[in-house]
């Protein structure tokens, strides 16, 4: 299993639009074969910081996700809402 954490600081005036679009992405992603979980999360210390936390079966599932219609359509739209983007991180369990 591969876990992905994608974080963004969202402009306060754009939060509702960002959440609406991110929820569409979450619903479509959770329906994909190979997706073991996909959630949108708000930081408790900074309400404008969000993290998408994803669980994928393997790299092939991530590649299929990245090639999906909803990924290619939605992800580029996030930049208009973003004040700061952080590097996307991939994790695998150690033990």
**DSSP characters for the chain?**
-EEEEEEEEEPGGGHHHHHHHHHHHHHHHHTSTTEEEEEEEE-SS-TTEEEEEEEESSHHHHHHHHTSHHHHHHGGGGGGGEEEE---EEE----
**What is the spatial distance between Cα 21 and Cα 66, in angstroms, rounded to a whole number?**
16
Show the tokens assigned to 10.
């969202």
Instruction: Read off the pTM.
Output: 0.90
Taking 90 as the threshold, does the pLDDT of residue 85 lie above it? Answer: no
Q: What is the CATH number of the domain that holds 35?
A: 3.30.70.100
Q: pLDDT tens, 46-84? A: 999 999 999 999 999 999 999 999 999 999 999 999 999
Q: Average of pLDDT values for 26-38?
A: 97
User: Quick one: pLDDT at residue 2?
Assistant: 96
Q: How many domains does the chain have?
A: 1
Domain boundaries, position 54: 2-91
């Amino acid at each position: 299993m591969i876990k992905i954490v994608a974080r963004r600081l969202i402009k306060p005036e754009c939060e509702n639009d960002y959440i609406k679009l991110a929820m569409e992405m979450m619903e479509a992603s959770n329906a994909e074969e190979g997706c073991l979980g996909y959630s949108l999360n708000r930081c408790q210390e900074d309400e404008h910081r969000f993290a998408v936390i994803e669980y994928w079966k393997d790299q092939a599932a991530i590649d299929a996700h990245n090639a999906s219609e909803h990924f290619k359509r939605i992800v580029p739209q996030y930049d208009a809402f973003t004040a700061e983007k952080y590097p996307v991180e991939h994790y695998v369990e150690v033990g």
